[in-house]
Structure 1
Amino acid sequence: MPGIIVVGTQWGDEGKGKAVDALGESVDYVVRYSGGNNAGHTVVVNDQKFIMHLLPAGVLSKTATTVIGNGVVIDLEVLYHELDGLATRGTVVDHPLISANAHIIAPYHQTLDKVTERFAGKKRIGTTGRGIGPTYSDKINRIGLRVADLLDADLLREKVAASLEQKNQLLVKLYNRREIEAEQIVEQLLGYAERIRPHVVDAARVLNDALDEGKVVLFEGAQAHHLDIDHGTYPYVTSSNPTAGGACTGTGVGPTRIDRVIGIAKAYTTRVGEGPFPTELFDADGERLRTEGGEYGATTGRPRRCGWFDAPVVEVAATVNGCTDIFLTKLDILSGWEKIPVCVGYDINGERSEVFPMTQSQLAIATPVYEYLPGWSEDISAARSFADLPVNCRDYVKRLEELIGCRISGIGVGPARDQVVLINDLV
């Protein structure tokens, strides 16, 4: 039975939550493997909208056990706010299981995130200010706080004090902020210790045992390929590895245990925050995509930048992540255009390139080369099979499949759980 990874192929917000929710009843474990509450997954069930920032979208499954892996950074206040919010709406989650090795976002991480972003001015990255980057920095610098540390008060005090020695120097002398008291942070974090204790596990052992038993494990990434710290549009990226390889390092499950990688791609392209975006639209079409697609950040509420589908963006993601399938979302939003442009390459200093630019300098001057495909006027929200789609709509999907070099196995035709067209089985 498979280990399945779901990964975004653009700049996030592709609709991974919908895809995971569609698969949720067919799997035994749903695992979040990277990122923090700078991500948001939206799922609509029975006309109710659920937005998860730390919990994987699969938490709404009635059969799957939820796991938060070691690659995730956890804001404990946000975690329990989400769990309590679900409970008030009738969804009681007696899991998740939480890796003892996952790192904790402390209040001083959030403070540093906000002040450094303001200090950067025009060179800002466009972070959410939720402390994600500083927490990953502490992890790499080996001065981070891990979930297991909450279970040892003396060790937690020692680690917080050591971390704040440097941070208070920065806050006071460089940013003209007040010094942060270590004991206040410790007491705040220890307030979660007893509640989290029953959930703390050796997640790598749990997941490998599950796979040994023939269970289906779904690994759910946050953000997307082009926000990956190594493979994304650096430096306008996140602080972790949302790519498929991150599922292995972020959970402790080896690559030979992964059977399928499902890339999620929106039928057009969006991006939140700063950074390059070759097909971005600044006209009425861009505003129409934003309005009809409801393109506002699930976590921040920020309006998303919108543009046409960029095939080289998805092709390189499908290649690097080893995608076996693509799930195409929000195809219904494109109904009503007479012609739909698709970026098939770039003009870079007068030379045509059909692959995503290798360098930051090339990407900065890349002008999209468009192919114009016939649109369709029909409402496709009731389609449940590929044959139900209009001919031009089917041709659009087939052309994208050719351009990205990976089969499209599922299509989202609306926000509801059942508004899905499956072409090939995904589990």
Structure 2
Amino acid sequence: MSLLVPGPLGWELWKQLPDGGYQRADDEGPMVVGEMSRLPSGDLAMLFPVRQVHALPFKAPSTDEDLFEDLATMHAERLGIRPDVMAGELTDSFLVSQEDESSVLLHVVIRSPGEGELPVRTPKDFDLSARGFPVEGDAVCVWKELGRWVFSIFKEGKLIYCQPSSSSAETPDNDVVRDIHLSLGQLTLQGLKVKPERVHLWGPQGELGEPGALAEAFDVPIEIAHRPDPVMPDPPSRILPADVHAARRAKAQRNKVLTLVGAAAVVYLGFAGWLGWGLWQTLQERKEIKAEMAQYAEVEAVFGEHTARWDELSRVVESRYNPVETMLNIANSIPKNSGLRLTTADIDFSESEPLVTLRGAAPASAPVTTFSLALKRNADLEWLEWNNEPANKTQKGWEFLFKGAPLEP
């Protein structure tokens, strides 16, 4: 068995040893697994990177394993996440713990692989990179994967959550720490509290590195070490993406062969019964295909309606529309020690009025101009389009009125 593993700066190839372990077989590969041209013969397995995984932990009100899949599917649909039904088996659920009448499950949904996100030779098995580096107890693991920092959370040695960060810094920065704390808080709100006993930091490129912002973020030991060798997770997952285009080409080729065979039979045998039988088979296949198309058309319509309704709720469920976060981002844009102050800050989510209205004053015009530019350049406020009128001079200084409206989706 050879194992494809997402490394710090590119994909890695690991070959299985006679004792069952794995040994690194090449240098750092490309960032896209589809560009790996030299793949060994034999069985191949692939660990999906964390950035392609939606991790959805939840507490199921049952211990019946036959109900886990349906409960997990309902949980994912409530969150608006549904895999592409034409892209194979992209979901799985893993048992974390059980109590008398409930179970803690980790449901994962793999983003449908795009161009180049699968190797040129189809692997036999698929799993998650976060499950390929197991640890013991309650712990947080932080490592770099394909240029970005990612982390996983373990409860009693079982993976309960994993997530990529937006940071690609040399060491874990405040963005990584914030994402970890938010994830731990979210687990607590779901009744899945995890109190880490240690934080594992696995340095990229075999270097131990520095803890960065992790050093002061936790009151538990920060254990810095090389990333451990990967293992094939146990129990294995049932994730199995399908190459839809290849399947369609194979089906078209089979239909072509059947048509040629039928034509040859008519020419050489001249038996009208075979022709009638072949025509009946074609009509039956056509009916089956139409029925299958109708089934998927209904699913697509329901999914489209669900997506439209979810988009209507975006201002409620997306954190960037949170009034407190919006006001904090606005406050952070005010020039320091400039004397500029806000007298009115109004947030209105109706469609007839601007979303944000800011009134204020400053002792000079320069701070007003600086504040206006800072609002437009603030990445956390990029969903707003600002209409900032020129400041008016008064006896007490300069007054201004800024209006921000949401950008068209």
- Relative to the length of structure 1, the TM-score reads 0.25
* Structure having greater relative contact order (Cα 8 Å, sep ≥ 6): 1
- Relative to the length of structure 2, the TM-score reads 0.26
